[in-house]
Structure formats: structure tokens, C-alpha cells
Amino acid sequence: MPATNSRERNVRYTAAFFEKEEDLLSAASEARGAGFELVDVFTPFPVHGMDQAVGLRRSRLTWIAFAGGLLGLGFGLALQIWTSAYDWPLNVGGKPFNSFPLFIPVAFELTVLFSGLIAIGVLLARNRMWLFSKRRIFERVTDDRFVMVLQQSDASFDMKKALAVFDRHHVLKVIDGDEYV
């Protein structure tokens, strides 16, 4: 049996459900300002300003997609140069073997393909969204509910203070437990 970290066993989570995105946004800002540890925020659609409210850094996924595009471009050009000039050179109308204007469509398509596939692969791997993962989703969060999850990592977590923050922002329901999605 693999050894588990004792810190992981003592961690508890508090999930607060909200009906409106404005309530969630203001509650997340206030909870972060009060020193609570925000684990995640679940919304049925993207909420403008939520990244700043929960303190997320800018995503590096754009740079990963750019690197994937460069890899696809390099692969497309190398493949075409190798096949047309070295492996199977055909003299068609006296054109040179390495005619770069002819390589543009295939190189462009491979740039887009590699960029998209690598970005999606990194996104799924980073978010642990495996094909058969058994992650629990909070009720109605994909329909019309907004959820904020706080982590109770130590004894200094003040549940009364957290409930006061939630109540100021029209919380619908609060779930407290050992399990998080």
C-alpha cells in the first residue's frame, strides 16, 4: 500500500454555492482578501474578472501552443523538403526541387494541427481530465450554479468568519467535508 502524506489526510474543504456570478465574484475577492485559501471556482460559463478575483497567474498554455505550432511548421517543412528534394525528386516543368511556395499549404496545416493537438493534450494532462476519471461534479454547477471551494489546511481556519463572508454574498448552500471533486 502506498504511503500517503499525513497532511493530505487532515485537509478539509468547504464549498459554497451561489446563484449569481456577481455574488461569486465578490465573495471570491473578499475571501482571498480575508486570507482564505481558495482551491477552485466552478462556473457554468466563463466569468469576466474571476482570474483576478482568485489570484490566478496568466496561463502558459499560449506559449505551449506556440511551441507546438513551431514544431509542426518545422516538421512540415522538413518532411516536404526531404521528400521532394532528396527521397523522391521529380522534375515537374523545370521547377526546382525545393520550391517553397508549394510547401506553404501543408506547412500551415501541420502548424495548426500540432498547435491544437499539443495544447489540448497539455490542457487535459494539466487538469487531470483523463478519459475514465471518476471526478465528482457539484450538483447543478454545469447548469446554473456557481461554486467556490476553500481549503481548511490547518486549525487556523475560522468557519464562522467564512460563513459570514458567504452570507454577505447571498450563499445558497455550504458543504463541508474531506472530499474535493
Q: How many CA atoms lie within 13 A of 42 on its CB side?
A: 19
**What pTM, to 2 d.p., does this model score?**
0.68
Distance CA(26)–CA(57), nearest Å, equals: 19
Among residues 181, 166, 164, the alpha carbon closest in space to that of 27 is found at 166
CA 17 to chain centre: 21
The confidence score (pLDDT) of residue 7 equals 46
Percent of the chain residues topping a pLDDT of 90:
36
The confidence score (pLDDT) of residue 69 equals 97
Q: What parts of the chain have a pLDDT lower than 70?
A: 1-10, 135-137, 179-181
- Residue 82's contacts (CB-CB under 8 Å, 6 or more residues apart) are none
The confidence score (pLDDT) of residue 180 equals 57
Q: Could you give all domains of the chain from N- to C-terminal order, each with its CATH number? A: 10-44+141-177 (3.30.70.2190), 61-126 (no CATH)
